[in-house]
Each structure stands twice: as C-alpha cells, then as structure tokens.
C-alpha cells in the first residue's frame, strides 16, 4: 500500500506540475484580465473541477503560477550572468529576452507586477522576490567588473531599474528598433564605466 500511495502521490505531483505549466502558457497568451477558472480550464482542455482539485481556488492557482514564473525568471537571469561581468551579462540577458521571443511570458510578469502594485496584499512577497535576485546577481557581476564595493548596491539598483524600464517600454510599444538603440546606449555607458573601474584597480 505504501508503494501504491507513493506512486499516486508522485503521479499527482507530476500532473499538478503539468497543469501549472499549461496554466502559465495560457496566462502568457491570454493575459490575466478576466481570466476565470472556467476560462483557464477551457483554454487548456481540462475541467474546472480538475483545476480546483489541484489548486483549490483561483487565488492559489495565480499564486502558484506567479511563483513558477518568478523561478523561471531567476533561472534566466542567473544563466545570462553566469561567469560574466556586468556589460557582458546584460547583453546576454537582452539577447534572451528580445531574440528568443518570450515576450508573452514577460507580459504576464508585468501584469502580475501591476496587480501587486495596485493590491499589495494579494501577492505580498512579489517585489521582494523580484528585486532581491536582480540585486544579488548584478552585485556579483559588478564585483567581477571591478566596481568598488561601496558602489555595487547603488549600481545594481540603477542598472536593474534601467533594464526593466527598457523591457517595459518594448512590451508597451513594440518598437524594438528604438528600444534596442536605447539599450545599446546604456551598454556604451556601462562599458565606459567598466573600463574605468578596471583601470583604477591596476
């Protein structure tokens, strides 16, 4: 019986993960506005009771989808900056976000951000869970680039905010040429500062 129980638990967990990924894809395609349990279920080809069996409520489903989305974003961020300095890491991240075509997922993340700003109690850990990884990853990359220790938090905050602002502009307008030119200008500034840090350290 223990093996049967364990097998059922494993299958239930696997099915829950499959459903969560399908829900995230649905949210990325459709957006979050006016999404109900019934509409999500219809879009992913299951029944509403099936979703409620695994997630109990719309709020829990949204919370789980947000957590999974944040895990994916942190994984992309970490991958882009692995072993790189600040300029190289930002360029790698921009290529992932712009070239690899995951803008629907970015839009879903932006919608969650808007909800968290409007109703902080709904997703109380949202901003901490988003901001902290950015600051930590950029702080490490800045150290690799020779940024003085007493400037790293401020620079990580500045560059993280500038980067996310460019992404928001791109998502809102779709003007990839103009926004990419803005990113290139940011990279020129970052590389100039990076060169100065490295010269100062010698």
Residue-wise pLDDT for 94-134, tens only, equals 999 887 667 777 888 888 888 888 888 888 887 788 888 99
DSSP string, 75-100: HHHHHHHTT--HHHHHHHHHIIIIIT
Is the distance from CB of 24 to CB of 35 less than 8 angstroms? no
Pick from 107, 110, 95, 80: nearest CA to 25: 107
Based on the fold, state whether residues 104 and 44 are members of the same structural domain.
no
CA distances from 158 to 65, 151, 171 (A): 28, 11, 20
Mean pLDDT, the chain, integer: 88
Based on the fold, state whether residues 19 and 65 are members of the same structural domain.
no
| pLDDT at res. 5 | 57
**Rounded to whole angstroms, how far apart are CA atoms 125 and 67?**
10
Based on the fold, state whether residues 102 and 190 are members of the same structural domain.
yes
Contacts for 153 with CB less than 8 Å, ≥ 6 apart: 135, 139
* Residue numbers of the domain that contains 63: 58-200
Based on the fold, state whether residues 176 and 95 are members of the same structural domain.
yes
Based on the fold, state whether residues 107 and 23 are members of the same structural domain.
no
pTM above 0.75, yes or no: yes
Based on the fold, state whether residues 171 and 153 are members of the same structural domain.
yes
**Rounded to whole angstroms, how far apart are CA atoms 141 and 129?**
19
Other Cβ atoms less than 10 A from the Cβ of 48: the count is 14
Based on the fold, state whether residues 74 and 139 are members of the same structural domain.
yes
Based on the fold, state whether residues 49 and 72 are members of the same structural domain.
no
Q: Which two tokens stand for residue 130?
A: 């988003």
- Per the structure, the count of domains in the chain is 2
Based on the fold, state whether residues 83 and 158 are members of the same structural domain.
yes
| pLDDT at res. 201 | 72
Regarding predicted confidence, which is higher, 64 or 145? 145
Based on the fold, state whether residues 81 and 169 are members of the same structural domain.
yes
| pLDDT at res. 1 | 40
Q: Which CATH number does the domain housing residue 194 bear?
A: 1.10.357
Q: What percentage of the chain reaches a pLDDT higher than 70?
A: 95
Based on the fold, state whether residues 120 and 146 are members of the same structural domain.
yes
Based on the fold, state whether residues 180 and 90 are members of the same structural domain.
yes
* 39-45 LR contacts (CB < 8 Å, sep 24+): 44/19
| pLDDT at res. 135 | 94
| pLDDT at res. 101 | 63
Q: Which CATH number does the domain housing residue 26 bear?
A: 1.10.10
């Amino acid at each position: 019986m223990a093996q049967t129980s364990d097998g059922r638990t494993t299958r239930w967990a696997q099915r829950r993960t499959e459903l969560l990924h399908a829900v995230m894809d649905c949210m990325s395609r459709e957006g979050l506005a006016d999404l109900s349990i019934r509409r999500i279920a219809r879009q992913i080809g299951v029944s509403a009771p099936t979703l409620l069996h695994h997630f109990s409520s719309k709020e829990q489903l949204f919370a789980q989808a947000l957590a999974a989305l944040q895990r994916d974003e942190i994984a992309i961020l970490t991958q882009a900056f692995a072993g790189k300095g600040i300029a190289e890491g930002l360029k790698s991240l921009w290529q992932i976000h712009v070239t690899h075509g995951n803008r629907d997922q970015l839009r879903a993340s932006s919608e969650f951000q808007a909800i968290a700003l409007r109703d902080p109690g709904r997703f109380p850990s949202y901003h901490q869970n988003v901001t902290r990884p950015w600051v930590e990853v950029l702080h490490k990359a800045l150290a690799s680039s020779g940024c003085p220790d007493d400037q790293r938090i401020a620079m990580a905050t500045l560059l993280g905010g500038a980067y996310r602002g460019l992404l928001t502009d791109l998502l809102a307008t779709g003007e990839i040429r103009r926004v990419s030119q803005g990113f290139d200008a940011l990279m020129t500034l970052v590389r100039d500062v990076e060169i100065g840090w490295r010269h100062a350290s010698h």
